[in-house]
Structure 1
Amino acid sequence: MPHDVPRPPAAGAGAAFFDVDNTLMRGASIYHFARGLAARDLFTTRDLLRFAWGQTLFRVTGSEQPEHIDAAREAALAFVAGHGVADLVDLCEEIYDDSMADRIWEGTRRLVQHHLDAGQAVWLVTATPVELAQIIRKRLGLTGALGTRAETIDGVYTGRLNGDLLHGPAKAEAVDALAREKGWDLAVCSAYSDSSNDLPLLSLVGKPHAVNPDGDLRRYARTHAWPVHDFRRHRQTLKAAIPVTLAGAAAGAVAIRALRRRGTP
């Protein structure tokens, strides 16, 4: 049975880590960002379809094959290469307010608030570019955000990543490093995700939760007696999870091409 809002630990004990796509937000944040760019005539339908096919395999299958990781990395690089950080942040803020703010799952918002009310730190942990993750964090009043980072020189993106995409095991590594820096005991920390790709992160903490889970994560959570929260209505779990995953995987390169085109005279 799905669980209601969990009772959090005592104030100051540990932290809570939330995935973004389909955990905190309906659909994928980068997809909604790409749609915002489309509404501003910054890319074509052809761009969207081309990107959708390439990125869907990586996201839907959860494949860790090198060629899929490389494709995702290349997309993330193209997303920002040659453009100013300030320009990207301005776009993120505008599009979040216009078309993303109302896509936050109310149930997950309550989970977040419960941790905040208990005096705990709440961090986003997502493969989405950190600039977009930071906008979401600020708008929701959260503590911090970990996301995919691109290298900058003099306020302009170079087209190289600082480290790897924050996906799968990389999320767990980033959270482990953050916990050591902050002095948190991961045994009393919580983590929330919709995807079996995040099992390394979920298994790292003492209080893992599955939110709107895909089939593999739902089965794993039930086997291990993890709380399961499903805030989707009037749709079967599998039917809901796959299109959202497709959309999330699909949008990054579209946004990438859009930003590159935006910088073209």
Structure 2
Amino acid sequence: MHLALFDLDHTLLPIDSDYEWGQFLCRHGIVDAEQFGRRNADFFAQYQAGTLDPVEYLEFALGTLAAIPPQQLQALREQYMEEVILPVLHPAAVRLLRQHQDKGDLTAIITATNRFVTEPIAAALGVPHLLAAEPERDASGNITGKLSGVPTSGKGKVTHLQHWLAAQNKQLADFASSHFYSDSHNDIPLLDVVTHPVATNPNAKLQQYAAAKGWPQITLFEKQ
């Protein structure tokens, strides 16, 4: 069997789904646009620079989810999918996914963004396996605002992948080949351990690293 892993934001999507979720909440008056927007933009800049504290950011994002009544939260997510995500799904990204799926590869999205935001996106892309930051939930199943486990970013992506494979009695070495597609230098720890790393719509730091390593670089679309 072969394994194909995909980052989500700016790799399969031309946008950052987490940042755009925050902007969506601002536009619809769910959060204070000035205060939230400023913090959201600061965190996004830190992510791009590679200086983001993932736990601090995730608990900011998850705390926002926890403050919204659950029924309203579900309705907002459906509206977000219709307004923001579905219009930007790109045929080139879908074709790449289908190429691997049609060959029978085990296919998964592994993203630093939380599961609440990304689960319907993975479903819309037709990818059944999602490794994402997990919100802590209370006894009623409601999001508490805390992170459960470790973030799915940096070396954490490797950790989550290992745990996911172990649950299936597998390890990375069991696969004849393993691809990982990502746009970001933040994903170098996972790119370094697969057999076929592919810099996809890469940022400048990943472009430089990939060129030094001789990795293939592809462009599916222009980022927004």
| Interval of TM-score (by shorter of Structure 1 and Structure 2) | 0.7 to 0.9
Asked if the contact 2:26/2:36 (under 8 Å) is kept, the reply is no
Aligned residues: 220
The CA deviation at 1:83 is 4.6
The CA deviation at 1:214 is 0.9
Q: Classify 1:187/1:89 alpha carbon distance in 2 versus 1 (closer, same or farther; 3 Å).
A: farther
The CA deviation at 1:187 is 5.6
Secondary structure of the equivalent of 1:149? strand
Structure 1 residue corresponding to 2:105, chosen from 120, 137, 147: 120
Higher relative contact order (CA 8 A, sep 6+): 1
Structure 2 residue corresponding to 1:165, chosen from 125, 146, 151: 151
| Correspondence for 1:34 | 22
| Correspondence for 1:224 | 213
Q: Classify 1:145/1:74 alpha carbon distance in 2 versus 1 (closer, same or farther; 3 Å).
A: same
How far apart are the structure 2 equivalents of 1:127 and 1:58?
14
The CA deviation at 1:162 is 0.6
| Correspondence for 2:182 | 193
How far apart are the structure 1 equivalents of 2:141 and 2:198?
38
- Comparing 54-63 and 44-53, the one that deviates more: 44-53
CA root-mean-square deviation: 2.2
| Correspondence for 1:103 | 88
The one-letter code sitting in structure 2 at the alignment partner of 1:169 is: K
More strand by share: 2
Q: TM-score, normalised by structure 2?
A: 0.87
Q: Classify 1:41/1:83 alpha carbon distance in 2 versus 1 (closer, same or farther; 3 Å).
A: closer
| Correspondence for 2:115 | 130
How far apart are the structure 2 equivalents of 1:112 and 1:93?
23
User: Percent identity between the aligned chains?
Assistant: 27
Secondary structure of the equivalent of 1:148? strand
Q: Name structure 2 gaps, 5 residues minimum.
A: none
Q: Classify 1:124/1:87 alpha carbon distance in 2 versus 1 (closer, same or farther; 3 Å).
A: farther
| Correspondence for 1:51 | 39
Q: TM-score, normalised by structure 1?
A: 0.74
The CA deviation at 1:217 is 0.9
Cα shift readout 1:40-72 (whole Å, capped 9, x = no counterpart) = 3223431344214531342022126xxx34531
The one-letter code sitting in structure 1 at the alignment partner of 2:8 is: V
The one-letter code sitting in structure 2 at the alignment partner of 1:144 is: H
How far apart are the structure 1 equivalents of 2:175 and 2:206?
21
The CA deviation at 1:226 is 1.4
Q: Name structure 1 gaps, 5 residues minimum.
A: 1-12, 234-239, 245-265
How far apart are the structure 1 equivalents of 2:176 and 2:50?
27
Asked if the contact 2:85/2:121 (under 8 Å) is kept, the reply is no
